[in-house]
């Protein structure tokens, strides 16, 4: 018997009201845009076409993307351009990022990275240098670092955690069954879990760990429950759940738009039954959405 198509349907012609993005309105939007341009900083907000860009930039926040704006992988859900940079790294990026953080006056910053399979350590040394630069330039700023899998190299992860961020995030993205279709062939469900588990072991309880799942790709409730349990077994503290939105016709179709009440149900079930320190769940939630609030929840937990 033939296997069922894991992505059997495309998106409806019109987006539901609950996933429609509002235009920017806050006073900080032009300031953020100007500073990013002046310092030549890439953001995942723009490169990955994040639906929260108007809200976050209007509030004076952005998620800075390190190691360039082009990724060596091609995941079926992601809008970031694929390119092989041949080992080229901009050595001025850490200092420019640190200057931006200082000038913004941020109390909390989220940094992410493109995957860099062209680098032996996946970019770990560059990420650690950026954290060091921020600590020197803006010592009171809390740093969240959303990383790729670093090629599965434990040595690269250990080197990165020599200068640990306050939060180490790595996204599982989806459930085990459809992970091979959703993510680049070089990624892996078990590799991601192993990285999160090692980060917990190396970083100890001082390091807060975090992951994220997209809904609407054809996953089932039992599969989601299994993924939540896998993340807790890996010691993950914080979880975000959001709706997958198709960036273009070349990307994976949306199988289903998950209504807000279902996101609420998932959050309650996960937080209460499995003991995550914090869960953000909603159609437009992304890994870095209101990240500082989630971090504070983790720190309020006994032993946190």
Q: What is the pLDDT of residue 46?
A: 52
Q: What is the pLDDT of residues 65-117, one digit of tens each?
A: 899 888 999 999 998 889 999 999 999 999 999 998 888 888 888 898 999 99
Tally of structural domains, the chain: 1
Domain assignment of residue 5, yes or no: no
What is the tally of helices (H) and strands (E) in the chain? 11, 10
**Phi, psi of 48, rounded to the nearest 5 degrees:** -100, 5
CATH number, domain with residue 279: 3.80.30.20
Regions of the chain where pLDDT drops below 50: 1-13, 47-48, 60
Domain assignment of residue 13, yes or no: no
Q: What is the pLDDT of residue 52?
A: 55
Domain assignment of residue 15, yes or no: no
CA distance 284 to 51: 7
Its domain, for residue 261, covers: 24-300
Domain assignment of residue 80, yes or no: yes
The 3-state DSSP class for residue 209 equals strand
CA distance 9 to 77: 15
Domain assignment of residue 289, yes or no: yes
CA distance 284 to 243: 6
- pTM, full prediction: 0.87
Q: What is the pLDDT of residue 48?
A: 47
Mean of the per-residue pLDDT values of the chain: 85
Domain assignment of residue 14, yes or no: no
Q: What is the pLDDT of residue 251?
A: 93
Domain assignment of residue 92, yes or no: yes
Q: What is the pLDDT of residue 21?
A: 62
Domain assignment of residue 9, yes or no: no
Q: What is the pLDDT of residue 7?
A: 41
The 3-state DSSP class for residue 76 equals coil
H helices of 234-289, in order, are 260-274
CA distance 57 to 64: 12
């Amino acid at each position: 018997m033939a296997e069922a198509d894991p992505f059997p349907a495309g998106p409806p012609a019109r987006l539901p009201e609950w996933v429609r993005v509002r235009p920017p309105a806050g006073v900080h939007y032009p300031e953020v845009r100007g500073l990013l341009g002046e310092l030549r900083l890439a953001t995942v907000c723009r490169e990955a076409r994040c639906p929260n860009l108007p809200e976050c930039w209007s509030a004076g926040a952005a998620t800075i993307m390190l190691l360039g704006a082009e990724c060596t992988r091609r995941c079926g859900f992601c809008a970031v351009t694929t390119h092989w940079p041949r080992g080229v790294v901009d050595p001025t990026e850490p200092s420019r990022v640190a200057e931006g953080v200082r000038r913004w006056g941020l109390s909390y910053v989220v940094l992410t990275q493109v995957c860099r399979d062209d680098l032996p350590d996946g970019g770990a040394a560059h990420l650690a240098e950026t954290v060091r630069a921020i600590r020197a330039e803006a010592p009171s700023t809390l740093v969240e670092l959303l990383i790729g899998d670093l090629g599965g190299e434990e040595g690269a992860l250990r080197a990165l955690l020599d200068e640990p961020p306050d939060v180490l995030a790595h996204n599982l993205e989806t459930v085990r069954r459809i992970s091979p279709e959703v993510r680049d062939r070089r990624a892996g469900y078990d590799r991601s879990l192993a990285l999160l588990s090692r980060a917990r072991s190396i970083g100890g309880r001082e390091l807060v760990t975090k992951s994220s799942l997209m809904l609407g790709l054809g996953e089932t409730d039992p599969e989601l429950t299994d993924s939540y349990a896998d993340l807790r077994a890996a010691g993950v503290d914080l979880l975000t759940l959001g709706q997958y939105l198709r960036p273009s016709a070349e990307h994976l179709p949306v199988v289903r738009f998950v209504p807000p009440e279902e996101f609420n149900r998932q959050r309650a079930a996960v937080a209460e039954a499995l003991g995550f320190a914090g869960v953000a769940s909603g159609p437009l939630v992304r890994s870095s959405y209101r990240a500082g609030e989630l971090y504070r929840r983790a720190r309020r937990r006994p032993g946190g």
